[in-house]
Chain A
Amino acid sequence: NAGVTQTPKFQVLKTGQSMTLQCAQDMNHEYMSWYRQDPGMGLRLIHYSVGAGITDQGEVPNGYNVSRSTTEDFPLRLLSAAPSQTSVYFCASTKRGTGVANYGYTFGSGTRLTVV
């Protein structure tokens, strides 16, 4: 089925561990992004990419790394997990638009991460 696939769905990490959250889309979308969702905080942008080889920081990038070697994949790396990174993480993608031709995002189903 076409869409955005996130793995794993659940993860528990110990403080200081590292891990990679996977995100893949099969819609040939140029734009991909990572958000974290915390109670009362809405969706906050961590990192985004407008195409393969191009990434940029969002509003809460500290503690996270990304890379975009292919159009399909956009993994999010936690370098040294901290309890403050306990959250639900969503990956989203869209066709790249210009001017008024922006398009809606397709979100994955999320990864629920707990750091203890």
Chain B
Amino acid sequence: GENVEQHPSTLSVQEGDSAVIKCTYSDSASNYFPWYKQELGKGPQLIIDIRSNVGEKKDQRIAVTLNKTAKHFSLHITETQPEDSAVYFCAASLIYGNNRLAFGKGNQVVVIP
């Protein structure tokens, strides 16, 4: 089955700097790659996603890039703010039409004021 790995496990950045989290996936058939943000004591929340027919997607300070050849995708957060501190999960869809997602183990991002 699909295996998704995230690096690094913990990332500390100064407020205002950029943060980048990278995920790799194993199944070349995966075609949907969402990112979730989980704040302390809450459920994960979808923040951005990308489909295999595009290479990059932006939404204000966050962006996701996809490299299908290398089978990796990355989350970019620019001008980080303290409220960006959270756990971020990447995921990949397993099978067409199945809706199942394989999640990475998560990255703790700490923004230092």
Binding site for B on A (CB under 8 A): 4, 31, 33, 35, 40-43, 45, 48, 50, 58, 90, 92, 94, 96-100, 102, 104-110
Contacts and interface: CB of A to CB of B under 8 A. Distances in A.
Interface string B80-113: 0000000001000100111111011110000000
Given A41-B105, A102-B31, A97 B43 contact: no
A106 B43 CA distance: 9
Contact of B96 (A41, A92, A99, A107): A99
Contact of A109 (B34, B42, B104, B106): B42
- State the 7 A-B residue pairs at the shortest beta-carbon distance, nearest first: A107-B43, A104-B46, A42-B105, A102-B32, A98-B97, A43-B103, A31-B99
Interface of B: 31-32, 34, 36, 42-46, 49, 51-53, 89, 93, 96-101, 103-106
Contacts of A99: 31, 96-97
Contacts of B46: 104-106
Nearest to B104: A42
Contact of A42 (B42, B52, B97, B103): B103
A105 B93 CA distance: 11
B34 to A, nearest CB: 5
A98 B98 CA distance: 7
Contacts of A96: 97, 99
